[in-house]
Amino acid sequence: MIFKDLSFLENLKAKELLKFISSKRKRKSDKKLFRSNMMLNPLNLKHLNKIDNLPADVITLNLEDGISKNRKKEALYKIAVFLSNLESSNSFIVVRVNPLDEGGEEEIKFLNDFSFDAVRVSKIKTPFDIEKALKLISLDKELHISLETKEAFRDIPSLKIDKRLTAANLGILDLLNSLGLSQSILNLNNPTIDYILSKFLIDCKIADIYPFSFMYQDYKNTKEFEKWCLKEKEMGYNAKACLGPAQVEIANRVFGFDEKELKKAKYIVEKFEEMRDKNINGFMDEKFGFIDEPIYKDALLVLEKYGK
């Protein structure tokens, strides 16, 4: 916890929060393997107070959806208080701001001096929006985007105009609305949803943007949430947005460390390199059949995924 007692922050007006802003700075996160991205409402002080020690790989402090217009300033200042008193965190911390022309620009300027890892910008449509956001965000922070408009979905690779754009979050409900499609098609066996998930994943991979799959809203239905995670893992995803600790536990487990996969990859890499030293680049192996350079490269990807 950041504060032992939260009572001094309760019932304060927005401007009164400013006097509790400190100058502490957490170090930049070096976390690379993302499995879960947990959304938190900054109006909830108890949630904010735990951002130093939550199991989620990514924590997104949300200033957009779910925060009414008359409380956005309060939410912004509460984020500032907790970030400025945060010395360390197990998670990669992101602040999700409003669209740039709906308060996001001012939010970024206010937050730039605080210590966190990335700004997430909503309602991106074109590379121009990316350029505008990058000019606003301090150089020590990454840019994440919410992919929720048909314009952005049409050509995701064109958005990668700078290496600081590192991740995209599929905002599937807003995207369906932008496409004129009903949310009723959002189920496990719908071919249109399969196409959306596939296109988003592949386009992000082409652009070297880390793809986070969409947030499943029915947080009590953990069985179906796990089915979505298993489906998306099979498709090639490594991470999913989460609502609450139960979803985080499932996402971390499904997308997490696979000892069998890692052991196989290590074996293939060692075997291939041993044979390559003998000028043999393709051979039959008693454990895994025919091994050649494409099999070897896939094994290297597995080792890279786990940071080995």
- Judged against a pLDDT cut of 70, whether residue 273 lies above it is answered with yes
User: What's the pLDDT band for 29 if we cut at 50, 70, 90?
Assistant: confident
Please compute the mean of the pLDDT values over residues 91-106 and round it to a whole number. 96
* CA–CA dist 199, 193 (Å, integer): 10
Of 45, 48, 39, the C-alpha closest to 245 is 39
Phi, psi of 210 (to 5 degrees): -75, 120
d(CA 79, CA 82): 5
Tell me how far apart the alpha carbons of residues 198 and 232 are, in angstroms, rounded to a whole number.
Answer: 9
With a cut of 70, say whether residue 103 has pLDDT above it.
Answer: yes
The confidence score (pLDDT) of residue 266 equals 92
Q: Does the pLDDT value for residue 307 go beyond 80?
A: no
**DSSP code of 242?**
E
- Nearest alpha-carbon partner for 62 in 215, 228, 232, 183: 215
Percent helix, strand and coil across the chain, each to the nearest 5: 45, 15, 40
For the cut 60, the answer to whether the pLDDT of residue 308 exceeds it is: no
CB 124 within 8 Å of CB 130: yes
- Give the pLDDT of residue 72: 95
Q: What angle do CA 58, 47, 65 make, to 5 degrees?
A: 70
Average pLDDT of the residues in 123-131: 96
- Hunting for tokens 């009572």 — which residue is that? 7
Which of 193-197, 285-289, 300-304 is least confident? 300-304
**pLDDT, the chain, mean:** 94
Q: Is 166 helix (H, G, I), strand (E, B) or coil?
A: strand
Euclidean distance between CA atoms 128 and 108, whole angstroms: 17
Alpha-carbon span 200 to 234, nearest angstrom: 15
pLDDT, residue 140, reads: 93
Domains of the chain: 7-257 (3.20.20.60), 260-305 (no CATH)
Please give the C-alpha separations between residue 290 and each of 79, 264, 278, 298, in angstroms, as whole numbers: 54, 14, 17, 14
pLDDT band, very low/low/confident/very high, at 242 (cuts 50, 70, 90): very high
**Amino acid identity of 201?**
L
In the sheet that holds 92-97, the strands lie side by side as: 210-212, 165-170, 142-147, 118-121, 92-97, 58-62, 36-40, 240-242
| Helices H / strands E in the chain, number of each | 11, 10
Pick 33 or 134 by higher pLDDT.
134
Q: Which of 114, 47, 102 is nearest to 77 (CA)?
A: 114
Give the pLDDT confidence of 48-67 residue by residue, as tens digits.
Answer: 999 999 999 999 999 998 89
Residue 199 has pLDDT above 60, yes or no: yes
pTM of the model: 0.89
State mean pLDDT over 246-271.
91
Residue 68 has pLDDT above 60, yes or no: yes
Cβ atoms of 90 and 113 closer than 8 Å: no
Mean pLDDT of 293-306: 87
